[in-house]
Amino acid sequence: MTYDFTFGLYKSSVNIEQDVPGLEAVLGAAESERALLVCDTNTAELAESARGAMAAAVCVVPAGEADKNWQSVEKILRAAAEAGLDRDGLFVAVGGGVVSDLCGFAASVYKRGAGLVIVSTTLLGMVDAALGGKTGFDLLGIKNFAGTFYPARHVYMPLAALSTLPPREWRSGLAEIIKTLVLDDSLYAAETRGRLLALKPALDGEGVSAPLIEAASRLIERSVTVKGRIAEKDPEERGGERALLNLGHTFAHALESAAGLGRLSHGESVAWGLARACVLGEELGCTPPERSEAIRAVLGELGYETQAPHPALADGGAFMRALKDDKKKIGGLFHFVVPALPGACLVTIDPDSLGLVEKLSGLL
Ligand code: GLY
């Protein structure tokens, strides 16, 4: 299945298919002749097999959020220079969100912008990071502090990669799917709920069957469509539209930072942040209680932590500091996206009212 999107000046196509594409096909589709494959220690084997007999350099960065830093970006830029890549060369990211964000950033600044293709190998990467052009790396202890908007020309989502995904990765990606499906109201349909619950064995480490992959592929298709259409309307998050994708993320980013970057998966934090956004939305009269309950119920059934305070939140002060540092703060006001009818809406909170957020996070 192929989906085409236009993000500002850039066209981006998404291919959801069975197998990891070979480098020859990737180069052919991008009309390029030379590539640098960028992967991490988890996807090095996949990248090697995609390369096959082709002559292309491979740059391996350390796996995990802890190394989503400038050093990894520099390693990629140096590898591209050593491989003699020109501006018409292609950076091919093979991996999850960390690899695609790092590689995307490197491609966006390399000789003022080289070609970029992402082969997304995790559920989180497929439904979020790979699509819509956000790139970046962590700096000063803040997630994605530095970055660019640079959509990949082609994004490949090989379902085969899901069969070896660890439960933690399933859990991380599924939370972003739930968030996205709140935005187009499809979460509340019985069919969607059935598909979400069908993924529970993967979350619990009980194996991945063909019907489970089928349910996952339907959810990926839906998430890609919803996220892609939202990002098309506001590719650089200048208006309010794309900011809706940050549903639950103000809480989530603060939790992720306070727990120590990399300790909780992004999705685990998003699930908790989404539950907190439901409660905040109810308090502010934006989220209908039945919607809040439906969202929190499905999160709970899938085993996500939804209660406050989060067990990983030993230091409430660190949480509030991270929340106050949020890069999405504008004009001194704090922005939260909460579920609404329809979809979700953006609410602003002035610094004097942050006590409510503190209370709903279980810190007062
Ligand atoms: N991850 C949210 C966005 O791409 O805008």
Query: Is the pLDDT score of 308 beyond 90?
Result: yes
d(CA 82, CA 86): 11
Residue 225 lies in a domain: no
- Residues 99, 172 within the same domain: no
The secondary element (H helix, E strand) that includes residue 174 is helix 167-183
Residue 220 lies in a domain: no
Ligand 1 proximal residues by C-beta, below 6 Å: 128, 132, 134, 242, 245
- Residues 111, 186 within the same domain: no
Of all atoms in ligand 1, which is nearest to the CA of residue 128?
1
Q: Closest residue (by CA) to atom 1 of ligand 1?
A: 128
d(CA 178, CA 238): 24
Residue 328 pLDDT: 61
Residue 288 pLDDT: 98
**Domain containing residue 96: CATH number:** 3.40.50.1970
pLDDT in tens, 83-103: 999 999 999 999 999 999 999
CA of 134 to the centre of ligand 1 (A): 7
Name the domain boundary from 164, 181, 215: 164
Gyration radius of the chain's alpha carbons: 20
CA of 86 to the centre of ligand 1 (A): 29
Residue 214 lies in a domain: no
- Residues 177, 285 within the same domain: yes
Does a cis peptide bond (omega within 30 degrees of 0) precede residue 288?
A: no
Q: How confident is the model at residue 200 (pLDDT cuts 50, 70, 90)?
A: very high
Location of structure tokens 């069969």: 163
- Residues 325, 291 within the same domain: yes
pLDDT in tens, 319-351: 998 888 766 666 778 899 999 999 999 999 988
Phi-psi region of 205 (alpha: psi -120 to 50; beta: other; left: phi over 0): left
CA of 96 to the centre of ligand 1 (A): 15
Number of domains in the chain: 2
Residue 329 pLDDT: 65
pTM: 0.95
Residue 16 lies in domain:
2-164
d(CA 218, CA 1): 11
Question: Residues of the chain with pLDDT > 70: what percent?
Answer: 99
The CA angle 341-346-347, to the nearest 5 degrees, is 105
CA of 62 to the centre of ligand 1 (A): 23
pLDDT in tens, 222-268: 999 999 999 999 999 998 899 999 999 999 989 988 888 778 999 99
Computed over every residue of the chain, the mean pLDDT equals 94
pLDDT in tens, 137-186: 999 877 888 999 999 999 999 999 999 999 999 999 999 999 999 999 99
Of all atoms in ligand 1, which is nearest to the CA of residue 246?
2
Residue 17 lies in a domain: yes
Residue 223 lies in a domain: no
**What are the distances in angstroms from CA 5 to CA 32, 111, 120, 153, 354?**
20, 25, 17, 10, 38
- Residues 21, 160 within the same domain: yes
- Residues 84, 157 within the same domain: yes
Q: Encoding tokens for residue 169?
A: 């990765």
CA of 223 to the centre of ligand 1 (A): 12
Name the domain boundary from 164, 181, 216: 164
- Residues 187, 270 within the same domain: yes
- Residues 19, 149 within the same domain: yes
Of all atoms in ligand 1, which is nearest to the CA of residue 176?
1
